[in-house]
C-alpha cells in the first residue's frame, strides 16, 4: 500500500464518542444528578438504593445489553461502560447493582438462553420488576472458581440443587439468580449454569456481609436446599457452565472497570476543587508541586485507562473474545481508583479523612474493585496467559 493511500483513509483510532453516545452520557449524567443524591445516606444507613434503581429502570438503564426483540435497547457494552462510569462517579451501590444486572445476568441470558427462556425472564428483568444476581463464588471457591461444590443432580425432568453461594451482590434484593452448579465430576466440564427463581422452595438468603464500602449494595449468602430446578432452567448444555461463567465475566469486568473509572474521576474532581480553591493574593494556585504532580498523573492515567475500557468493550460488541483486554482494563482502572481515592484523602487532609466530603467514602468503596469479579492478581494471570498463549 502506498503512503498516499494511507493518508486518504479514515484513521483507525477514534478517541471520541459518537454524538449519540455523548448524548446518552449526558442523559445518564442527568439521571445521576437527579436521582443519586442519596449516595452518602445509602452508605451511612447501609440502605439499598431502591428508588434510584427503579428510576434507572424507568429510564431504560436496566436493558442496555438486551436485544430489541426482547424489550431491550441493544446498546451494547461500550454504551453500558459509558453509563456505568457516570453512575459510579456518584453512587457505587447503585452502580454495582446495575452493572451486575446488565453485564452478568442480562448479557448471559441474551447470549446463552434459548428463546423460550428469554421470553420467560426478560419481560421482568428489562423493566426492573426483577433484579438479577450472579452466583458463582462459594466459601472454598473464590479465585479458583472451578473448585465450586454446589451440586445439581438430575432426577427425571428436573435437577435437585444443594449448596451455598457466598458474596452475592444484590443477594437479598434479586428475584432471579444465575447459579453455577456441579452436574458431573470433571473440574471444568462438570459445571453447568441454571436460572433459579427466588420464590422456589428451598431458596434462601443467608447471612448479609458487613462491608468496608459499597454499603448500600447488599452482599449475601444464597442458600440452596433441595431446590427442585426444572430441566428447562438449565442454561445452554450441561457442562458448559464454566465457559459461560468466564465468558460472562469478561463483560462483567468491564462494568467494574467502568465503576473504577467513576470512582477515580470523583476522587480527581475532589482534588482539583481543593487545589483550585487555594490561591495566593494574586489569584495564583498555591498547591505544592508534589500535589500538582499527583493530580497530573492521576488525570493522565484516567484518560489512558478509559481507552483500555473502551477498547475491550468495542471488541466485545464486535463479538471478539476480549479476556486479555478486559483484564487489562479492570486491573489498571481498579488500581487507579484506589490510588486516586488515597490521594484525595491525603491531599484533602483532615477534611478528606473525616467524612466531611466524599473522599473517605471513595477510599472505602474503591477497595472492592480490586477484589470482586476477579482479584487483581487473577487479572494479571489472565493477561499473562493471554500473552503467552500460542497464536
**CB 201, min distance to ligand CAA, A:** 25
Of 263, 246, 247, nearest in space to 335 by CA: 263
- List the one residue from 89, 113, 145, 337 that touches ligand CAA (CB under 6 A): 145
What distances in angstroms separate CA 142 from CA 118, 232, 254, 349, 382, one per listed residue?
Answer: 29, 28, 19, 36, 15
CB atoms within 10 A of CB 66: 22
Which of 125, 222, 124, 130 lies closest to 171, judged by CA?
Answer: 222
CB of 312 closer than 8 Å to CB of 239: no
**Identity of the residue, 146 or 351, whose beta carbon is nearer to ligand CAA in the bound complex:** 146
Tally the residues of the chain. Answer: 391
Min separation Cβ 386 and ligand CAA, Å: 9
CB of 272 to ligand CAA, least distance (A): 29
Grid coordinates belonging to 1: 500500500
CB closer to ligand CAA, 100 vs 179: 100
Cα within 13 Å of Cα(35), Cβ side: 25
Q: Which residues contact 131 (CB under 8 A, 6 or more apart)?
A: 53, 97, 101, 125, 170, 173, 174, 175, 176
**Is-catalytic flag, 373?**
yes
Stretch that binds ligand CAA, among 133-141, 156-164, 332-340, 353-361 (CB under 6 A): 133-141
Asked if 205 touches ligand CAA (CB under 6 A), the answer is: no
Given the DSSP bridges, would you call strands 219-230 and 158-169 parallel, antiparallel or unpaired?
Answer: antiparallel
Q: What is d(CA 111, CA 184) in angstroms, rounded to the nearest whole number?
A: 23
Q: Name which of residues 323 to 352 contact ligand CAA (CB under 6 A).
A: 323
Q: Looking at 238-322, list the stretches that DSSP marks H as alpha helix, in order from N- to C-terminal side.
A: 241-276, 289-317
Report the C-alpha gap between 245 and 96 in whole angstroms. 18
Stretch 80-119: interaction string toward ligand CAA, x if CB under 6 A: ----------------x---x-------------------
Spell out, one character per residue from 163 to 182, where the chain touches ligand CAA: x when CB under 6 A holds, - when not. Answer: ------x-------------
Pick between residue 134 and residue 159 the one whose CB is nearest to ligand CAA.
134
Q: How far apart are CA 275 and CA 228, in angstroms?
A: 59
The smaller minimum CB distance to ligand CAA, of residues 96 and 271, is found at: 96
- Residue 374 engages ligand CAA in binding (rule: CB under 6 A): yes
Here's the x/- map for ligand CAA, 234-253, by CB under 6 A: it reads as --------xx--xx-xx---
- Min dist. Cβ of residue 188 to ligand CAA (A): 5
| Of 143, 155, 278, 292, the one binding ligand CAA by CB under 6 A | 143
* 137 near ligand CAA (CB under 6 A): yes
Contact segment (CB under 6 A) with ligand CAA among 52-60, 137-145, 296-304, 312-320 equals: 137-145
With residue 169 as reference, give the H or E element that holds it: strand 158-169
As measured in angstroms, the least distance from the Cβ of 86 to ligand CAA is 19
Return the residue matching grid coordinates 459499597.
Answer: 214
Min dist. Cβ of residue 212 to ligand CAA (A): 15
The SS3 of residue 175 is: coil
139 part of the interface to ligand CAA, by CB under 6 A: no
Q: Which of 17, 40, 55, 146 binds ligand CAA (CB under 6 A)?
A: 146
Q: Does 61 engage in binding with ligand CAA (CB under 6 A)?
A: no
Nearer to ligand CAA, 52 or 244 (CB): 244
Positive or negative, the CA dihedral 299, 216, 241, 374 is: positive
Nearest-approach distance from CB 279 to ligand CAA, in angstroms: 42
The terminus-to-terminus CA distance of the chain in angstroms comes to 26
Q: How many residues bind ligand CAA (CB under 6 A)?
A: 24
Asked if 165 and 222 count as a contact pair (C-beta separation under 8 A), the reply is yes
Q: How far is the CB of 177 from ligand CAA (least distance, A)?
A: 11
Q: Are 221 and 166 in contact (CB under 8 A)?
A: yes
Please tell me which residue in 138, 360, 370, 373 is annotated as part of the active site: 373
Residue 6, all three cell numbers? 494511507
Site residues (vs ligand CAA, CB under 6 A): 96, 100, 134, 136-137, 143-146, 169, 188, 242-243, 246-247, 249-250, 323, 372-374, 378, 381-382
What are the residue numbers of the active site?
373
Amino acid at each position: 500500500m502506498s503512503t498516499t493511500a494511507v493518508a486518504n483513509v479514515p484513521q483507525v483510532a477514534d478517541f471520541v464518542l459518537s454524538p449519540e453516545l455523548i448524548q446518552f452520557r449526558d442523559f445518564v449524567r442527568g439521571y445521576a444528578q437527579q436521582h443519586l443524591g442519596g449516595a452518602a445516606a445509602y452508605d451511612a444507613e447501609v440502605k439499598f438504593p431502591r428508588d434510584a434503581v427503579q428510576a434507572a429502570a424507568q429510564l431504560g438503564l436496566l436493558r442496555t445489553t438486551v436485544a430489541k426483540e426482547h424489550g431491550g435497547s441493544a446498546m451494547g457494552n461500550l454504551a453500558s461502560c459509558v453509563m456505568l462510569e457516570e453512575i459510579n462517579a456518584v453512587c457505587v451501590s447503585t452502580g454495582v447493582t446495575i452493572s451486575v444486572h446488565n453485564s452478568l445476568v442480562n448479557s448471559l441470558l441474551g447470549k446463552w438462553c434459548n428463546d423460550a427462556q428469554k421470553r420467560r425472564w426478560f419481560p421482568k428483568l428489562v423493566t426492573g420488576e426483577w433484579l438479577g444476581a450472579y452466583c458463582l463464588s462459594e466459601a472454598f471457591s473464590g479465585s479458583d472458581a472451578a473448585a465450586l461444590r454446589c451440586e445439581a443432580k438430575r432426577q427425571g425432568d428436573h435437577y435437585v440443587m444443594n449448596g451455598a453461594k457466598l458474596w452475592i451482590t444484590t443477594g437479598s434484593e434479586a428475584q432471579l439468580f444465575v447459579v453455577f452448579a456441579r452436574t458431573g465430576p470433571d473440574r471444568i466440564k462438570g459445571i453447568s449454569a441454571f436460572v433459579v427463581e427466588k420464590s422456589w422452595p428451598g431458596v434462601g438468603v443467608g447471612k448479609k456481609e458487613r462491608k468496608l464500602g459499597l454499603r448500600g449494595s447488599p452482599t449475601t449468602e444464597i442458600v440452596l436446599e433441595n431446590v427442585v430446578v426444572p430441566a428447562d432452567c438449565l442454561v445452554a448444555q450441561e457442562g458448559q457452565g464454566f465457559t459461560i461463567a468466564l465468558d460472562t465475566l469478561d463483560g462483567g469486568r468491564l462494568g467494574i472497570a467502568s465503576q473504577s473509572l467513576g470512582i477515580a474521576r470523583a476522587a480527581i474532581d475532589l482534588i482539583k476543587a481543593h487545589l483550585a480553591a487555594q490561591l495566593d493574593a494574586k489569584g495564583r494556585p498555591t498547591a505544592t508541586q508534589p500535589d500538582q504532580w499527583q493530580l497530573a498523573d492521576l488525570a493522565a492515567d484516567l484518560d489512558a485507562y478509559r481507552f483500555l475500557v473502551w477498547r475491550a468493550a468495542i471488541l466485545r460488541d464486535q463479538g471478539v473474545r476480549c479476556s486479555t483486554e478486559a483484564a487489562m482494563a479492570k486491573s489498571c482502572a481498579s488500581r487507579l481508583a484506589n490510588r486516586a481515592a488515597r490521594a484525595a484523602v491525603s491531599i484533602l487532609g483532615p477534611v478528606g479523612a473525616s467524612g466531611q466530603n466524599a473522599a473517605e467514602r471513595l477510599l472505602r468503596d474503591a477497595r472492592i474493585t480490586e477484589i470482586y469479579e476477579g482479584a487483581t492478581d487473577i487479572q494479571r494471570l489472565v493477561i499473562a496467559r493471554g500473552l503467552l498463549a500460542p497464536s
